[in-house]
Each structure stands twice: as C-alpha cells, then as structure tokens.
Amino acid sequence: MRWLVTLLMLWPASGLAESLVATRLIRATEVIGPGDVAAQPGALPGVASRPDQVIGLEAQVAIYPGRPVRLADLGPAAVIERNELVRMVYRRGTLVILSEGRALGRGALGDTVTVMNTGSRQSVRGIVTTTGLVEVTGSAGGTP
C-alpha cells in the first residue's frame, strides 16, 4: 500500500515533464530557431526541456526530425567562419599591432582559433573576441 501512495505522489510530477525534439532536420553548424523544436511529454536525461535552452545555439551534429535535442550536441554559434578574413590585434604593454589574417577554422566567442597573417603567411593563435576580431596570443607553434 505504501508503494501505491508513493507512486500516486510522483505520477503528476512525471506527467508534466517534457523533452524537446527536432521538428525538422537540423544540420551540423545550423543555428536553432524557435520553429525547429517542439515539446514532447516525458523528461529524458541530458535532453533540453525548454526552448530557451537551445534557441540561438548551434548544432554540432545532425539532429533528425522527432529525435531528442541533447544539450551535449549543441554549442555556441560561430562568429568566425573558416577562410574568413579577420582583423588580428596583438597587445603587449603599450604596443598594439593590428593586421589582417585568414581564419583557418571556425570559432565562437571565446574560442581559440588559428589565423594565417595575410602579409607574412605566418600562422598565429588567438581568441575570438567579437565578430571578425581575434586577439592574438602567440604563434601556432607555441611561441609568441
């Protein structure tokens, strides 16, 4: 009898939990919009439960229609694309050097990317600070 009371106490709470599923094929690197997900009854571990958790994020893998939208399959949207021309800035004390480079990979805000200086053809690593701007931290080989 005690297990029946416990089951009845948990029943309404489990009936209210939801998981998000894809409403269409979401390809890797696509940013998720409001119409791309829908709520489905039943909570699943690791799966988003509210649209505000996923809207504006980028899919890192393909998510097929009707499949759960796992939080581990999403990440921040890239603001720099591979082969995009970017502005590089190097700061050391009062010295500030600005240059143009070509991104050798994609990156979101805060990501470290490798950029090839278009003038010297030297590759450097930097942190994406805004759209089209990379704060150079050192060369790709590990020395500044």
d(CA 125, CA 41): 45
CATH of the domain at 60: 3.90.1210.10
Mean pLDDT across the stretch 16-39? Answer: 91
In terms of residue numbers, what domain contains 22? 13-75
CATH of the domain at 92: 2.30.30.760
Tell me: do 45 and 93 sit in the same domain: no
Mean pLDDT across the stretch 16-26? Answer: 89
Between residues 118 and 6, the one the model is more confident about? 118
Total structural domains within the chain: 2
* Residue 7 included in any domain: no
Confidence (pLDDT) at 9: 47
Confidence (pLDDT) at 141: 56
Say what the alpha-carbon torsion angle 116, 121, 122, 128 is, to the nearest 10 degrees. Answer: -20
Confidence (pLDDT) at 2: 55
Q: What is the pLDDT of residues 39-90, one digit of tens each?
A: 999 888 889 999 999 999 999 999 999 999 999 999 999 999 999 999 999 9
d(CA 115, CA 94): 23
| Full-model pTM | 0.67
